[in-house]
Amino acid sequence: MDEPIVVGIDIGTTKVCTLVARVEGERGLRILGVGIEPSQGIRKGTIVDLGAATQSIARSVEKAQRTSGLEITSALVSLAGSHVSSVNSRGVVGVSGRMIDQDDVERALEAAQAVAIPHNREIIHVIQRGFVVDGQDGIRMPVGMHGFRLEMEAHIITAAATTVENLRQSVQAAGVEATQFVLNPLASAEVVLSETERQMGAVVCDIGGGTTDLAIYIDGDVWHTMVIAVGGNHVTSDIAHGLRLPMDQAEEIKKQYGYALEREVAADDTFTMRPFGEEQAEIVSRKDLAHIIEARVEEIFDLVLQEIKRSGYDGMLPAGMVLTGGMSNLPGIRTLASEVLGLPVRIAKPDNLVGLVDQLHSPAYSTSVGLLYWALMMSETMPVSPRGRRPRGGGNVNWEIIKNFLKRMLP
């Protein structure tokens, strides 16, 4: 097996999904192993019970190892939660010679990272937004240009150090080394966002069980990221309270009969259920269920709209929103999102997959598959062997790939 193997572990509030894939040809992936396990000990993207979370991760990894026939030693791991925050920064350096070289770019990157980060926070991503050479902005890659003053605009994403360490500890206890943490919407964007949408201006909205994750892309780069601690589990909780049901039954009813727009449900459309304390099943109108769901989903998109406006980029998104994540399977959600946000909205899921992909053709697995593409970018800059270890010996460095990777620079 000459092709490198890439592994991603998506640790969400509702599920842990481990994927193993083999790199084939130009950015082609064949899914070799899939391990999907219900999450335990995780709430709103944050670990609340270390032992339970470790068991869920270990079971997911074990399933992926069994289906792929490969031992998993290291993986990229997804990250979400309201503890994630971001800031835009600018680094300025003088050019050492008349011509800008790679050292100047790296010094500008270091200068951009020299922002006041509290001791209890950890830098997760430093993403290049663009360069300015002697006052001329909009430059994508300045290496080889003449200039005296180089500025780099960077988007810095940080997370609570203790939360990241707990996640790292859980993954290590499951026998896997977390080589890099990747923010959920950035991973999802690798799968669901087209190059045109990246350039024009679009927002990726990944609505999972515990969080709603946002990433705004303009001119091909990330300009703003945010995690909102509201998700599909809040809708389930509303149904459980409103109809007096256990959470697991409310989740099933949401999936089977849920609708995001009350006005589009027929008045005579009903279903049966058995609430707490009742011996006989009751008939419930789907319109009443849609009323409960619509109120919460509308609130989620109101919070998304507030965040987009707070970023200051609300007038720069002609490509609108790309909606993904498990909640985007809810019928009627695209129409409601478009009405609340006043933007074009489309729902996206992973496609062009080969291998063990039966379960993966769903928006719920956008982050999981996106982690593999992120790992693929990392493997292009730093080749790995099938066991996830770097090969010994030298080799020619592909500087073109390094330059492209700088666009998504990781610390």
User: So what's the pLDDT on residue 232?
Assistant: 93
Other CB atoms within 10 Å distance of the CB of residue 220: 15
Would you place residue 141 in the very low, low, confident or very high pLDDT band (cuts 50, 70, 90)? confident
DSSP secondary structure letter of residue 297: H
Would you place residue 380 in the very low, low, confident or very high pLDDT band (cuts 50, 70, 90)? low
Would you place residue 184 in the very low, low, confident or very high pLDDT band (cuts 50, 70, 90)? very high
Nearest Cα to 72, choosing from 195, 202, 175? 175
Does residue 378 surpass a pLDDT of 80?
A: no
Query: Residue range 139-161: average pLDDT?
Result: 90
Question: In the structure encoding, which two tokens stand for residue 311, read together?
Answer: 């970023």
Contacts of 57 (CB under 8 A, 6+ apart): 9, 11, 16, 18, 37, 170, 171, 173, 174, 176
Query: Residue range 295-318: average pLDDT?
Result: 94
196-200, 228-232, 377-381: lowest mean pLDDT where? 377-381
**304/286 Cα distance (integer angstroms):** 27
**Cα angle vertex 46, ends 79, 340, to 5°?**
75
Does residue 390 surpass a pLDDT of 90?
A: no
**Cα angle vertex 95, ends 94, 101, to 5°?**
145
End-to-end Cα distance, the chain: 30
**263/119 Cα distance (integer angstroms):** 50
Question: What CA–CA distances, in Å, run from 92 to 144, 221, 222?
Answer: 18, 19, 20
AA letter at 259: Y
Would you place residue 376 in the very low, low, confident or very high pLDDT band (cuts 50, 70, 90)? confident
Would you place residue 2 in the very low, low, confident or very high pLDDT band (cuts 50, 70, 90)? low
Does residue 385 surpass a pLDDT of 90?
A: no
DSSP secondary structure letter of residue 165: H
Which sign does the torsion angle of CA 168, 174, 175, 181 carry? negative
Q: Which long-range contacts (CB under 8 A, 24 or more apart) does 272-278 make?
A: 273/243, 273/245, 273/249, 275/243, 275/244, 275/245, 276/244, 276/245, 276/246, 277/244
Query: Tens of pLDDT along 315-347?
Result: 999 999 999 999 999 999 999 999 999 999 999
Within 13 Å of residue 338, how many CA atoms lie on the same side as its CB?
Answer: 12
Query: Tens of pLDDT along 87-114?
Result: 889 999 998 878 888 888 889 988 988 8
Pair type for strands 321-324 and 345-347? parallel
Does residue 194 surpass a pLDDT of 70?
A: yes
Does residue 86 surpass a pLDDT of 60?
A: yes
Task: Tell me the β-bridge partners of 170.
Answer: none
Percentage of the chain beyond pLDDT 90 is: 61
Does residue 165 surpass a pLDDT of 70?
A: yes
Query: Tens of pLDDT along 235-294?
Result: 999 999 999 999 999 999 999 999 999 999 998 999 998 888 777 888 999 999 999 999
**208/230 Cα distance (integer angstroms):** 9
Question: What CA–CA distances, in Å, run from 208 to 125, 173, 327, 329?
Answer: 21, 25, 6, 11
User: So what's the pLDDT on residue 140?
Assistant: 81
Does residue 189 surpass a pLDDT of 50?
A: yes
DSSP secondary structure letter of residue 136: E
Residues in the chain: 411
Residue found by looking up tokens 């074990």 in the block? 62
**372/365 Cα distance (integer angstroms):** 11
User: So what's the pLDDT on residue 254?
Assistant: 94
**179/104 Cα distance (integer angstroms):** 27
User: So what's the pLDDT on residue 117?
Assistant: 82
More confident call, 392 vs 167: 167
Which sign does the torsion angle of CA 400, 185, 34, 175 carry? positive
Q: What domains does the chain contain, in order, with CATH numbers?
A: 85-160 (3.30.1490.110), 194-347 (3.30.420.40)
The percent helix, strand, coil of the chain (3-state, each to 5) is 35, 30, 35
Would you place residue 27 in the very low, low, confident or very high pLDDT band (cuts 50, 70, 90)? low
Averaged pLDDT of the chain: 87
**125/409 Cα distance (integer angstroms):** 7
> What's the gap between Cα 303 and its chain centre?
18
3 state SS of 98: coil
